[in-house]
Structure 1
Amino acid sequence: MSKKAIIIGSGIAGLAAAIRLIHKGFEVSVFEANSYPGGKLSEIIINGYRFDAGPSLFTLPEQMEELFLLSGKDPKKYFDYIKLPVACHYFWEDGKHIKTWADINKFADEVETKLGEPAENIRKALRKSSYIYDHLAPLFMHRSLHKFGTWTNKEALKSYLKMGKLGIFSTMHKTNSRNFDHPKLVQLFNRYATYNGSNPYETPATLNIIPHLEFNIGAFFPKKGMHDITLSLYRLAQELGAKFNFNSKVEEILVEQGKAVGVMVNGQKILGDLIVNNMDMVNAYKTILRKQKQPTKLLDQPKSSSALIFYWGIKKVFPELDLHNILFSDNYKEEFDHIFHHRSIYHDPTVYINITSVYKPDDAPKGCMNWFTMINVPNNQGQNWDKLILEARRFIIQKVNRILKTDIESLIEVEEILEPRTIESKTSSANGALYGNSSNNKYAAFLRHANFSSQIKNLYFCGGSVHPGGGIPLCLLSAKIMSEMIAE
């Protein structure tokens, strides 16, 4: 008789966990509070416009493909994607703009031509990023940091000798200031701190690992949109036999004699041999694990930034815009001070615009574009969000108008808003933080919850709020690390 695994939450880590546990011989049931799978990785459809609601950048596609290959399936029959020729298009107020080409030499030449930055500085910085990845990925991304064997294996021993070169003892900003002559290049590479909701002026330079993923490996786009990541994994999990229960909010993880034995859903006890929590770790301890000993030190860690997103249907095509676009603030330091120290929104925010209709034209009516328009904002600490949202909308429109020389408000024909309060209510993310705890100190990687409970047997964790962190590849890896622990 097969053992029963219960998964709480159907974010992409929960979906990946379901697939992997079925391959370990478990009978899997997934309980999801929402009426749909995917968590943050969902979609919004309004009056002919389709928007990917959550994560918009796709890297390390092999983490997705592995799940299909593990199941004996052809990934392309479920999920297909293209490599982007341009990772992002960057704009500044002074009229400068550059494209980060997938061809690194082309990118380096563009930077030298437009900014006067020596092309070799780009190539050198990306070689350093690759070096960090090669030495840290096996340790921090693919293994549990909470198991003794991680620290005594061959890869770890090699990394110990390289710690001074891996950026642990410097900040991202200080390192980038040494790597580049032009402040615009420093700002561009500082931006990668936002990929896990951190502050480049405080986070360790180990996060310079991220450009390697985007440049040396590549940025990609699913042909059917980001939401297809969710749909394809959901379809695969169903085909393998996973049972999904939507509108089924777990009220409690049942623990008896130090062992997780099931969950309470709608007043009904549902027993299982294994419980996997894909819900935000902080909110899980506050709610479904409230009766258990609390890991106070972890729960009290500073949280990552959040996001304010305007989903705008724009009745015009802007040919100068690409899939990913950044309109930079003139004072990046001040913007991050507002987010992390003043818990407010800067009057000149950096604006990210994601437009999937560039590659998937049916995401918007003909002659129109679907703008996923986002700024980084503080997580929810009880601010007056209604006031802040109105102000931010005005700041964003003013910035778009200045840089694109347009009147964008007159072109907005549909609008939907996602902000820290609704991020928390829809995805159970504590304080609406997108990535759980922030990475604004060199010990942050060690202050993420493990993929297992050290206090409760048969209780495991996956998702962006636990090791190894937030973002699509890391969420998928959290499910892999968790499943390998169960095999052990």
Structure 2
Amino acid sequence: MIKKALIIGSGIAGIAASIRLAVKGYQVEVFEANSYPGGKLSQTDIGGYRFDAGPSLFTESHLVDELFILAGKNPRDYFEYQKLEAICQYFWEDGKRLTAWSDIDRFAEEVETKLGEPAKHTREALRQSAYIFQHLAPLFMERSLHRLSTWTSPQALQSYFKMGKLGIFSTMNQANEKRFSNPKLIQLFNRYATYNGSDPYQTPATLNIIPHLEFGRGAYFPKKGMHDITISLFHLSKSLGVKFHFESKVDEILVENGKAVGLSCKGKRFLADIVINNMDMVNAYKTILHAQKQPKRLLKQPKSSSALIFYWGVKKNFPELGLHNILFSDDYKEEFNCIFKKRSIHPDPTVYINVTSTMKPDDAPAGCMNWFTMINVPNNQGQDWDGLVNEARWHVIAKINRMLKTDLESLIEVEETLDPRSIELKTSSAHGALYGNSSNNRFAAFLRHANFSSDIKNLYFCGGSVHPGGGIPLSLMSAKIMCDMV
């Protein structure tokens, strides 16, 4: 008899899980509250401009390729991407600029030339990042932390003796201050904490693993845009017989005698052998699992930061901008203090500008650029967001005008805004937090929900709010970890 699986949510982890389960021989159905797949990994079109709506950096490309290979297909027949030569353009208020080249030696020489920091310091930092990845990725990113076999594996036993070298006892900022003398380079490497919504002055130095994903393993751009990750995997899933139900908000996960037996949606019962939740873990327990035992300790954990995004169609070409661009604040520590302690927005925020039209010209009209302009902000705790957004918009435009020597307001042709409230509404992310629970302490990795329920048999979890964490690579890994348990 063919077994049946029901998946709640068509975020990238939910789609990946549907593919893996279909390959295992399951009959799979996916229920999605929105009218489109992908969750945060979606797109928006505004007046002739196309924007990738959410995640904008593509690393660990093999995790996407692997899904096509599992299905017996050649990935390049369905999904194409290219490696970035220049990963990011960095700008500071004093006029300093730096290109983060993907070639480590070239990047190290660029740092020495532009910032005066010896090239060997950059090379050593990236060697250390690779070292952390080598010892922690197989343990914390590729396996469940909630199974005894993980902790008794040879890889785990080796890592126990290296915890000091892996950065668990210091913060990211402390490690970077020890390694570099130039404050700008410290700031650049501290920025990687934002990749999972954390504060570099609180999060452990183990997060210095992140630069290796870009420099050691490669940063890429899908030739049709980030949204093509969603679309290509969505079509692959459907080709394997997976059925998608859109505009189908799940009412409840059905539990009988301690076992998940299906779900209810629009007043109908759908039964299955296993149920997979790809919805934000916190909101899932508050809604579709409200009648079940609550993991109170996990639900109370502080949440990650959120984002304020301005989608701007700009009637000018700025040759100094690349695909990824960072305009740094002058007081990084106070910026994070505002986000995580004051629950507000710093008047001089670090501004990230993603311009996919530099790689895919048809994303904007000729002579124009599509600016995905983002700043890190606190998650939604009931702040006066209308006031905060209006004030932040003014500060962001003023900063861009200063640093790029322009009059941006006169160049903005189309505009839409996404703030923590709308992020929560569109993606069911608790408080609009982008990465689930915060990683601002050394035990954060252990304070994420497991990929299975310890109380309800046949109920599994995947996505950015559970182990191993948020972002495209970790969400894809969560689907892999979960499916290996089924």
1:309 counterpart residue number:
309
Question: 2: distance between equivalents of 1:103 and 1:443?
Answer: 33
For residues 288 and 366 of structure 2, the distance between their equivalents in structure 1, rounded to whole angstroms, comes to 47
Q: Separation in 1 of the partners of 2:76 and 2:304? A: 35
- Code of the residue aligned with 1:322 in structure 2: it is G
Aligned mates of 1:315, 1:180 — CA distance in 2: 39
The one-letter amino acid paired with 1:136 is L
Q: Per-residue deviation at 1:161? A: 1.1
Q: Quick one: percent identity of the two aligned structures?
A: 72
Deviation at 1:274, TM superposition (A): 0.4
Question: Which 5+ residue runs of structure 2 have no aligned equivalent?
Answer: none
Task: Give the corresponding residue for 2:73.
Answer: 73
SS at match of 1:460: strand
1:289 aligns with 2:289: yes
Equivalent position of 1:483 in the other structure: 483
Residue 357 (1) aligns with residue 357 (2) = yes
Q: Give the secondary-structure state (helix, strand or coil) at the position aligned to 1:122.
A: helix
Provide the C-alpha distance between the structure 1 equivalents of 2:78 and 2:11, rounded to a whole number of angstroms: 18
Does structure 1 residue 63 correspond to structure 2 residue 63?
yes
Q: Distance in 1 between matches of 2:173 and 2:426?
A: 34
Q: Residue 217 of structure 1: CA displacement? A: 1.2
Deviating beyond 4 angstroms after TM superposition, the runs of 4 or more aligned structure 1 residues are none
Q: Residues 309-328 of structure 1 correspond to what in structure 2 (within 5 A)? A: 309-328=309-328
Give the structure 2 partner of residue 11 of structure 1. Answer: 11
Q: What per-residue deviation string (whole Å, max 9, x for no partner) do you get for residues 23-80 of structure 1?
A: 1211000000000000000000011100000000000000000000011101011110
What is the rounded CA distance, in whole Å, between the counterparts of 1:461 and 1:115 in structure 2? 45
Match for residue 416 of structure 2?
416
Task: Determine the structure 2 residue equivalent to 1:384.
Answer: 384
Q: Counterpart of 2:276?
A: 276
Provide the C-alpha distance between the structure 2 equivalents of 1:292 and 1:217, rounded to a whole number of angstroms.
Answer: 42
**Secondary structure of residue in 2 paired with 1:163:** coil
- Pair 1:170-2:135 in alignment: no
1:234 CA drift (Å): 0.1
Q: Deviations over 1:3-30 (max 9, x none)?
A: 1100000000000000000112110000
Map Cα deviations across residues 411-460 of structure 1 (whole Å, 9 max, x no partner). Answer: 00000111100000000000000000000000000000000000000000
Distance across 2 between alignment mates of 1:261 and 1:282: 21
Q: For residues 188 and 230 of structure 1, what CA distance do their matches in structure 2 show?
A: 30
> 1:367 aligns to what?
367
TM superposition shift of 1:126: 0.3
1:354-404 Cα shifts (integer Å, max 9, x gaps): 000000000000000000000000000000000000000000000000000
Q: SS of the counterpart of 1:230?
A: helix
2:214 is matched with which residue? 214
Return the alpha-carbon distance in structure 2 between the equivalents of residues 437 and 55 of structure 1.
18
Cα deviation code 1:189-238 (max 9, x no counterpart): 00000000000000000000000001111110000000000000000000
Q: Match of 1:375, as an amino acid? A: I
Counterpart of 1:82 in 2: which secondary structure? strand
Q: How does 1:120-139 map to 2 (within 5 A)?
A: 120-139=120-139
| Cα separation, 2, equivalents of 1:465 and 1:127 | 29
2:443 aligns with 443
1:347 offset after TM fit, Å? 0.3
Note the C-alpha offset of 1:271.
0.6
Match of 1:234 in 2: 234
Q: Secondary structure at the match of 1:210?
A: helix
Partner of 1:87: 87
1:96 and 1:206 mapped to 2: Cα distance? 29
**What is the TM-score normalised by the length of structure 2?**
1.00
Displacement of 1:179 in angstroms is 1.0
1:142 and 1:102 map into 2 onto residues whose CA distance is 25
CA distance in 2, matches of 1:366, 1:23: 43
State how 1:392-403 maps to structure 2 within 5 Å.
392-403=392-403
Distance 2:179 2:80 in 1: 36
**Residue 341 of structure 1: how far off its partner (Å):** 0.2
Give the superposition deviation at 1:128.
Answer: 0.3
Is residue 205 of structure 2 the alignment partner of residue 184 of structure 1? no
Q: Does 1:457 align with 2:457?
A: yes
Report the equivalent of 1:336: 336
Q: Which amino acid aligns with 1:299?
A: L
Instruction: Figure out how many residues of one structure are paired with residues of the other and give that number.
Output: 486
Report the equivalent of 1:112: 112
Partner of 1:41: 41
Question: Counterparts of 1:181 and 1:305 in 2: how far apart (Å)?
Answer: 28
- AA partner of residue 305 (structure 1): S
In structure 2, C-alpha distance between the alignment counterparts of 1:243 and 1:229, rounded to whole Å: 19
The DSSP-based 3-state class of the residue aligned with 1:165 is coil
RMSD: 0.4
Residue in 2 that maps onto 1:143: 143
| Residue type of the alignment partner of 2:423 | I
Q: 2:72 is aligned with what amino acid?
A: G
Superposition TM-score, scaled by structure 1 size: 0.99
**In 1, Cα distance between the equivalents of 2:76 and 2:250?**
34
Counterpart CA distance in 1 for 2:249 and 2:165 is 46
d(CA) in 2 for partners of 1:23, 1:69: 11
Partner SS for 2:483: helix
Report the Cα offset of residue 115 of structure 1: 0.8
- Matched to 1:132, the amino acid is I
Alignment of 1:246 with 2:246, yes or no, is: yes
